[in-house]
């Protein structure tokens, strides 16, 4: 049998959602590469809805945009990403709470030996601390942990911002470096200076422990809602809803201005576009088979799940408004393709400001053997690898709501005219998600007949910004995303934030 006469390979059967989203991803490839997003993943908007892209609300950040971005993203078996609804800042703080800086066996032995030689001084320091400052936190249970806790409190909490242990250790007037020293705590400072002098052989280890624990503590403080300031300071910002209610939250910014997004998303002429195509065949009243044009995969599901139309008085799927309809060629045209790039306020070790510090997570998720460093104790319930369930948005590829064209081989044009009157307004549900927020007047329906081909085409076009909607409520379709997996040891195919 020649190559020309070989039967075509059988199409792969996937979930309906996977077929549709993967086809969109494939069709968007050229636009994604042009926007330097070659590793695009399809996004399941099911629990998110479309993106409120107009992120600036007056001089503040739009709360709707913030809440969309502030999610942990999960890679599914279907190859797309979505969220289970857990906020990024919450999950991130919980993961940081499970991280501890742990010494390897050699470093721990050196510290234990030094503490043994300084036993009298160490016991005096601990006794004076509990007498004047009270008990240690419940998680501080060993002598080494108690001594590390005291050192951290004195240097980082009582000391000047950015005070280093080496500077404190070598000072001839240490109390001058401690503007926040509590009343009557001078003896603790004297005890600590004596302890540091006796344990100088492990100075480097003590400095590493203090620096690492301090960075982790500051990072957690900067994302913990308990510590959110009354007004925005470095690393924080104010978000506002449409009613003017303000809230201070960890800072997220968007690289593109709203003017840049507007000009690309809704250009006066031209713009970037692509289309995805499918063949839909009704198997019965409750099941539709959808075949993608590019990837050749087949998905089966309810016709209402694939596409459904709703007006103020009626609702239909793509076949239910005329009994003679069983097959349809579907084209989704995505116009105004552009990018939306969040950035997260990075932790600054010099100032202590900022909250995004993924290095401890990466190190704890991939601890180097026999080496001091961050570890999980206990291990959080996440898969931190690439394509795991602890991802954050690096960049989004967005577009206008798609123009949906459905072409049927039928002569029953009257059925279309009866249901979809010229310029009638509809809401569209796509994969169970209301496009444009699900408004019943978001899409405009038009019908046309081609007698030469015996086809009727129904075109559903988004009304766009001509509807009476505030700028901060405007929505964009999320074509796909690049995701950063902050706990992954290597992410060669993922862009960093």
CB 489 within 8 A of CB 383: no
pLDDT at position 2: 43
pLDDT at residue number 274: 96
Q: What is the 3-state secondary structure (H, E, C) of the chain?
A: CCHHHCCCCCCCEEEHHHHHHHHHHHHCHHHHHHCCCCCCECECCCCCCCEECCCEECCEEEHHHHHHHCCCEEECCCCCEECCCCCHHHHHHHHHHCEEEECCHHHHHHHHHHHHHCHHHHHHHHHHHHHHHCCCCCCCCCHHHHHHHHHHHHHHHCCCCCCCHHHHHCCCCHHHHCCCCCCCCHHHHHHHHHHHHHCHHHHHHHHHHHHHHHHHHHHHHHHCHHHCCCCCCCCEEEEECCCCCEEEEECEEECCCHHHHHHHHCCCCCCCCEEEEEEEEEEECCEEEEEECCCCCEEEECHHHHEEEECCCCEEECCCCCCCCCEEEEEEEECCCEEECEEECECCCCCCCCCECCHHHHHHHCCCCCCCEEEECCCCCCCCCCCCCCEEEEEEEEECCCEEEEEEECCCHHHHHHHCCCCEEEEEEECCEEHHHHCCCCEEEEEEEECCCCEEEEEEEECHHHCCCCHHHCEEEEEEEEEECCCCCCCCCCCCC
CA–CA gap between residue 77 and residue 60 (Å, rounded): 38
Check pLDDT > 90 for residue 344.
yes
Is residue 400 very low, low, confident or very high in pLDDT (cuts 50, 70, 90)?
A: very high
Output the pLDDT for position 4: 44
CA torsion sign for 397, 401, 403, 409 is: positive
Of 352-361, 423-432, 472-481, which range is least confident? 423-432
- Using one digit for the tens of pLDDT, what is the confidence trace for 461-488? 888 655 556 778 888 999 999 999 999 9
Is the confidence at residue 6, as pLDDT, over 60? no
Tokens representing 342? 């969040």
pLDDT for 10 beyond 60: no
pLDDT per residue as tens digits for the range 193-217? 999 999 999 999 999 999 999 999 9
User: For position 432, what pLDDT does the model report?
Assistant: 84
**Which pLDDT tens digit goes with each residue over 174-184?**
999 999 999 98
Q: By mean pLDDT, which of 298-312, 315-329, 401-415, 457-471 is the weakest?
A: 457-471
Structure tokens at 307: 């596409």
Q: Would you place residue 495 in the very low, low, confident or very high pLDDT band (cuts 50, 70, 90)? A: low
| 1: confidence class by pLDDT, cuts 50, 70, 90 | very low
Tell me the pLDDT band of 297, cut-offs 50, 70 and 90: confident
Greater model confidence, 279 or 3: 279
Of 485 and 495, the one with more pLDDT: 485
d(CA 379, CA 172): 43
Q: What does each C-alpha distance from 311 to 96, 323, 485 come to in angstroms?
A: 48, 20, 41
For residue range 141-171, list pLDDT tens digits in order.
889 889 999 999 999 999 998 899 999 999 9
Neighbours of 340 (CB within 10 A): 24
What's the whole-number average pLDDT of the chain?
Answer: 89
Q: Are the CB atoms for 41 and 79 separated by under 8 Å?
A: yes
Under 8 Å between Cβ of 369 and 375: no
Q: Tell me the C-alpha distance between 343 and 390, whole Å.
A: 17
Rounded to an integer, what distance in angstroms lies between the CA atom of residue 161 and that of residue 138? Answer: 27
Position 64 scores a pLDDT of 95
Confidence at residue 5, expressed as pLDDT on a 0 to 100 scale: 42
Q: Which pLDDT value is given to residue 9? A: 45
Residue 315: is it exposed, middle or buried by C-beta count within 10 angstroms (0-12/13-18/19+)?
middle
Is the pLDDT confidence value at 76 over 80?
yes
Question: Which one is predicted more confidently, 415 or 9?
Answer: 415
pLDDT band at 379; cut points 50, 70, 90:
very high
pLDDT band (50, 70, 90) for residue 313: confident
Q: Are strands 60-62 and 236-240 parallel, antiparallel or unpaired?
A: parallel
- Asked if residue 492 has pLDDT above 90, the reply is no
pLDDT of residue 438: 65
Asked if the model's pLDDT at residue 89 lies above 90, the reply is yes
Residue 78: predicted pLDDT: 82
Helix axes 105-117, 143-152, angle to 10 degrees: 80
Burial 40-73 (b: 16+ CB within 10 A, else e): bbbbbbeebbbbbbbbbbeebbbbbbbebbbbbb
* Whether the Cβ atoms of residue 493 and residue 387 lie closer than 8 Å to each other: no
Peptide bond into 378 cis (omega under 30): yes
Q: What is the share, in percent, of the chain residues with pLDDT greater than 70?
A: 94
Q: How far apart are CA 364 and CA 488, in angstroms?
A: 10
In sequence order, the β-bridge partners of residue 279 are 291, 329
Q: Is the dihedral of CA 414, 415, 418, 422 positive or negative?
A: negative
């Amino acid at each position: 049998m020649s190559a020309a006469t070989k039967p075509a390979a059988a199409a792969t059967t996937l979930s309906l959602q996977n077929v549709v989203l993967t086809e969109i991803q494939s069709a968007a490839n050229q636009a994604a590469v042009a926007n330097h997003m070659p590793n695009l993943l399809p996004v399941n908007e099911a629990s998110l809805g479309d993106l409120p892209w107009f992120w600036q609300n007056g001089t503040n950040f739009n709360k709707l945009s913030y809440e969309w971005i502030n999610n942990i993203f999960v890679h599914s078996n279907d190859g797309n990403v979505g969220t289970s609804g857990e906020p990024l800042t919450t999950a991130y703080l919980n993961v940081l709470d499970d991280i501890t800086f742990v010494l390897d066996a050699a470093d721990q032995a050196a510290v234990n030996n030094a503490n043994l030689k300084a036993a009298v001084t160490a016991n005096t320091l601990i006794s004076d601390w509990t007498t004047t400052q009270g008990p240690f936190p419940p998680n501080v249970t060993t002598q080494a942990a108690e001594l590390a806790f005291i050192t951290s409190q004195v240097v980082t909490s009582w000391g000047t911002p950015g005070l280093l242990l080496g500077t404190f250790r070598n000072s001839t007037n240490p109390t001058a470096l401690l503007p926040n020293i509590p009343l009557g705590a001078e003896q603790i400072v004297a005890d600590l200076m004596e302890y540091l002098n006796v344990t100088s052989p492990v100075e480097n280890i003590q400095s590493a422990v203090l620096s690492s624990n301090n960075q982790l503590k500051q990072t957690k403080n900067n994302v913990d809602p308990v510590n959110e300031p009354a007004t925005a300071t470095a690393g924080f910002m104010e978000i506002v809803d449409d009613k003017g209610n303000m809230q201070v939250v960890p800072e997220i910014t968007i690289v593109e201005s709203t003017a840049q997004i507007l000009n690309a998303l809704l250009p006066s002429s031209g713009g970037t576009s692509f289309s995805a195509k499918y063949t839909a065949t009704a198997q019965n009243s409750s099941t539709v088979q959808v075949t993608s044009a590019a990837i050749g995969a087949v998905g089966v599901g309810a016709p209402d799940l694939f596409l459904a139309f709703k007006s103020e008085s009626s609702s239909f799927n793509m076949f239910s408004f005329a009994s003679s309809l069983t097959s349809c060629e579907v084209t989704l045209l995505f116009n105004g393709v552009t990018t939306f790039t969040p950035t997260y306020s990075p932790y600054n070790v010099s100032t202590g400001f900022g909250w995004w510090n993924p290095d401890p997570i990466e190190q704890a998720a991939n601890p180097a053997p026999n080496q001091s460093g961050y570890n999980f104790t206990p291990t959080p319930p996440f898969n931190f690898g690439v394509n795991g369930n602890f991802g954050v948005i690096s960049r989004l590829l967005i577009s206008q709501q798609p123009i949906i064209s459905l072409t049927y081989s039928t002569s029953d044009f009257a059925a279309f005219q009866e249901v979809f009157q010229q310029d009638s307004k509809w809401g569209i549900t796509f994969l169970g998600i209301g496009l444009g927020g699900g408004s019943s007047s978001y899409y405009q329906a038009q019908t046309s007949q081609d007698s030469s081909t015996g086809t009727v085409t129904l075109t559903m076009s988004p009304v766009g910004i001509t509807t009476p909607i505030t700028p901060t409520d405007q929505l964009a379709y999320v074509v796909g995303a690049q995701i950063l997996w902050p706990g992954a040891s290597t992410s060669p195919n993922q862009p960093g934030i």
